[in-house]
């Protein structure tokens, strides 16, 4: 993406939006690194410019924030319609670039908005598993991301979050102090998926997420062993 197109993208947001997002990201980075020992591997795989569809495993409600911290660029993310019931919370997440998705209604409006943001050179976060994990492991990816991947023609970036499930498992409200590691895999380019069917695309993404998750588990194990030796 050229400097001109990038500046036009930023001009769509007010100064208040840009400043508050930057401050929130700085605060969250410091907090998560200190409290959860957050460490990421593979940040060089995030595109420095142009559109990109980030496809992440889903472990907790913290995930959009955790992935957003890794990006030096602003991140858009999909949020289910039920999260917009509260006017105050809806205003906050819209301010942070959430895209409303109505799963029961087909989600066409959200799909259109997602494609628009990708085509104007922005990053969008999706959770291809569809829902949060119930055991901390990678779930089977669903086909919901396929249409966006094919129509947007942007790089697909696999991301695995490891440890956020232990911090805030499904059904709990207060986070616990645990180690979080995130691994960003090599991007899947549009030309790589042009001649394969949807199931093959899902298999490629599944394998990438599994590989990233395994690497994240190795990082957490190493961290635990290192702590044990220091005691």
C-alpha to C-alpha distance for 213 and 182, rounded to whole angstroms: 8
Helix (H) or strand (E) holding 226: helix 198-230
- pLDDT of the residue at 3: 39
- pLDDT of the residue at 5: 45
pLDDT tens sequence across 16-27:
888 888 898 899
- pLDDT of the residue at 11: 53
Q: Say if CB 66 and CB 75 are below 8 A apart.
A: no
pLDDT along the chain (231 residues), means of 10: 46 80 90 92 96 97 94 91 88 88 72 94 96 96 95 97 95 91 98 96 98 97 79 57
Residue-wise burial string across 29-51, b where 16 or more C-beta atoms lie within 10 A, e elsewhere: eeebeeebbbbbbbeebbbeebb
- pLDDT of the residue at 10: 56
Pairing state of beta strands 39-41 and 52-56? unpaired
Residue-wise burial string across 207-225, b where 16 or more C-beta atoms lie within 10 A, e elsewhere: ebbbbbbebbbebbeeeee
- pLDDT of the residue at 107: 65
* Structural domains of the chain, with CATH: 13-230 (3.40.1130.10)
Give this prediction's pTM.
0.89
């Amino acid at each position: 993406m050229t400097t001109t197109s990038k500046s036009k993208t930023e001009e769509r947001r007010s100064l208040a939006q840009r400043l508050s997002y930057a401050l929130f990201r700085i605060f969250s980075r410091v907090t998560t690194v200190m409290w959860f020992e957050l460490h990421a591997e593979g940040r060089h795989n995030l595109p420095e410019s142009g559109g990109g569809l980030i496809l992440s495993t889903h472990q907790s409600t913290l995930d959009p924030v955790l992935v957003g911290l890794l990006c030096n660029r602003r991140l858009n993310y999909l949020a289910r319609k039920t999260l917009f019931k509260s006017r105050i919370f809806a205003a906050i997440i819209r301010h942070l670039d959430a895209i409303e998705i109505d799963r029961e209604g087909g989600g066409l409006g959200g799909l259109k908005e997602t494609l628009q943001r990708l085509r104007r050179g922005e990053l969008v976060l999706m959770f291809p598993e569809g829902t949060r994990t119930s055991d901390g492991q990678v779930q089977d990816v669903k086909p919901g991301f396929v249409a966006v991947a094919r129509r947007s023609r942007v790089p697909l970036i696999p991301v695995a979050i490891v440890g956020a499930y232990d911090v805030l498992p499904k059904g709990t409200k207060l986070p616990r102090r645990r180690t979080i590691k995130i691994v960003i895999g090599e991007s899947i380019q549009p030309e790589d998926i042009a001649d394969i069917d949807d199931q093959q695309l899902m298999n490629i993404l599944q394998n990438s997420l599994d590989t990233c998750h395994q690497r994240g588990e190795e990082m957490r194990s190493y961290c635990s062993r290192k702590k044990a030796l220091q005691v």
